[in-house]
Amino acid sequence: MKKLILFLAVFLFANPLFTINEYRNAVRLNPLDENPSLTLAAKWHAKYIYANNEITHIQRKYGRYFSGKTPADRAISCGYESRYVIENLSRGEKSYNESIKDLFGAIYHRFGFLNFNINEIGYYKLNDIYVYNMGNSFINRACKIKSDYKSGFAGLCRDKNKIIPKGVYYDQMKTNPQMVTWPYDGMKNTPAVFYEEIPDPLPEYGVCGYPVSISFNPYYYENKKISLISFELYKNGKKVEKTKIITYKNDVNRMLKKTQFVLFPLERLEYGAHYDVKADFIINGRMKSFEWGFDVEEKRIPVITVIGTNGKYFIKSNITYLIYFKPLNSNDRLSGLKYEYIKGLKINKIGYKDANTIYLNISGYPGKKLKITTKKRKIILVIKD
């Protein structure tokens, strides 16, 4: 029995559908079911990415494993009847869980996973490539049956002229909450940092804090006038001054909708800190205010923060540390990592944790030194008693 329970726990933890539904459930969104046509479309796109070494949502017709130009085209070619398809993808992570976690930090992809109008998904992993295709079973079913509706939405089916009734289009939306925030109220272990996504919502910044988002359900708010008055972040009661707010009006990629709002902290969030969010809107002439809070993940291993271009730091032998190099500017990333030491010191492990952080574990007698240099930094680590 213990083996069965352990196997089930490991399976659920490794299952991307379980993880995505766990995230959606946390904000009271409907769960997703797996659809084989969407899974097949995800598989062929993963093969295309791998064979052509292109991280893209748009395939070239003469690329290897071409299965359709757009996510909708690929789904149609794999037997899906609806063109209402949303695609997320990532590359470089070690697991589905890492991929999903990273995509929830990437704002456009986050809104994909938290879409109010999806209820099914297909996914596929090829080496370190992860592809997720999401759709709506109500729309897909309506595209299959013969009908002759005169009013509704066109362009949603294999036959682009086919009309889908508005009621079908909104069936899933109306079961979901009126608003979703991420991080959600009471969220624990919120990541501290966001880097980049493609397309990049903050091209002028290479690194910033984990973005905070608000999205209103289009079923309730699509035809309402929504004006953002203020959107503020507080750390332990003190306002975080360095932030940037992005809406559909100033989104450089024109991907945000009128119902989506994002606040980017321009510096990474503090590990273990509590943050509160306050947002004020005028909706159809009436003021609406929202407040919620979340906690940033704690690091269970010690962190050394390097400020400036050089310094000396004391560490203990055989203890793993994170060395965080605070960015010198908005696009600062570590590069050219080198290290020097003399006999009597041993490097047990060293490598990149993220674009501004390395991890290391060294052993040796007290007083032994490790010199670390990057393109812009130079520090010395000294083993202490």
Domain count, the chain: 3
pLDDT at residue number 17: 97
Average pLDDT of 299-315?
86
| Of 346 and 33, more confident | 33
Domain at 217, CATH number = 2.60.40.1220
Residue 59 has pLDDT above 80, yes or no: yes
Is residue 66 included in any domain, yes or no?
yes
Is residue 361 included in any domain, yes or no?
yes
Out of 161-175, 237-251, 292-306, 321-335, pick the least confident.
Answer: 321-335
Whether residue 161 sits in one domain with residue 70: yes
Residue 284 has pLDDT above 90, yes or no: yes
| Of 336 and 123, more confident | 123
Whether residue 188 sits in one domain with residue 212: yes
Cβ neighbourhood burial of 311 (10 Å; 0-12, 13-18, 19+): middle
pLDDT at residue number 61: 94
**CA–CA distance from 224 to each of 78, 215, 282 (Å)?**
37, 14, 10
Whether residue 185 sits in one domain with residue 171: no
Average pLDDT of 18-47?
98
Is residue 378 included in any domain, yes or no?
yes
Q: pLDDT tens digits for 357-372?
A: 888 898 888 888 899 8
Whether residue 168 sits in one domain with residue 149: yes
Is residue 165 included in any domain, yes or no?
yes
Whether residue 84 sits in one domain with residue 124: yes
Is residue 7 included in any domain, yes or no?
no
The residue count of the chain comes to: 385
Of the candidates 138, 136, 137, 165, the one whose C-alpha atom is nearest the C-alpha of residue 150 is 165
Residue 157 has pLDDT above 90, yes or no: yes
Q: pLDDT tens digits for 209-230?
A: 999 999 999 999 999 999 999 9
Cβ neighbourhood burial of 146 (10 Å; 0-12, 13-18, 19+): exposed
Q: How much is the mean pLDDT over the chain?
A: 92
Whether residue 227 sits in one domain with residue 145: no
User: Is residue 364 within a helix (H) or strand (E), and if so which, with residue range?
Assistant: strand 357-364
Residue 2 has pLDDT above 80, yes or no: no
Amino acid occupying residue 282: I
DSSP labels, 103-161: HHHSHHHHHHHT-TT--EEEEEEETTEEEEEEE-HHHHHHHHS----SSSB-SSBSSTT
Whether residue 166 sits in one domain with residue 29: yes
Whether residue 239 sits in one domain with residue 320: no
User: Is omega for the bond preceding 183 within 30 degrees of 0, making it cis?
Assistant: yes
Which residue among 175, 197, 218 closes a domain?
175
Residue range(s) defining the domain that contains residue 121: 12-175
**C-alpha 364: how far from its chain's center?**
40
Average pLDDT of 81-102?
96
Which residue among 267, 298, 329 closes a domain?
298
pLDDT at residue number 5: 45
Is residue 2 included in any domain, yes or no?
no
Cβ neighbourhood burial of 126 (10 Å; 0-12, 13-18, 19+): middle
Average pLDDT of 242-260?
97
pLDDT at residue number 287: 98
User: Is residue 46 within a helix (H) or strand (E), and if so which, with residue range?
Assistant: helix 36-52
Provide the pLDDT confidence category of residue 8 given band limits of 50, 70 and 90: very low
Provide the pLDDT confidence category of residue 14 given band limits of 50, 70 and 90: low
Residue 258 has pLDDT above 50, yes or no: yes
Whether residue 286 sits in one domain with residue 145: no
Q: pLDDT tens digits for 136-146?
A: 999 999 999 98
Domain at 332, CATH number = 2.60.40
pLDDT at residue number 11: 42
Determine contact, residues 120/133, Cβ cutoff 8 Å.
no
pLDDT at residue number 3: 45
Average pLDDT of 45-52?
98
Out of 98-102, 123-127, 173-177, 374-378, pick the least confident.
Answer: 374-378
Which residue among 298, 329, 348 closes a domain?
298
Helix 2-14 with 16-26: angle, nearest 10 deg? 70
Is residue 1 included in any domain, yes or no?
no
Whether residue 217 sits in one domain with residue 83: no
Whether residue 78 sits in one domain with residue 169: yes
Is residue 213 included in any domain, yes or no?
yes
pLDDT at residue number 4: 46
Provide the pLDDT confidence category of residue 331 given band limits of 50, 70 and 90: confident
Whether residue 327 sits in one domain with residue 276: no
pLDDT at residue number 164: 96
pLDDT at residue number 324: 86
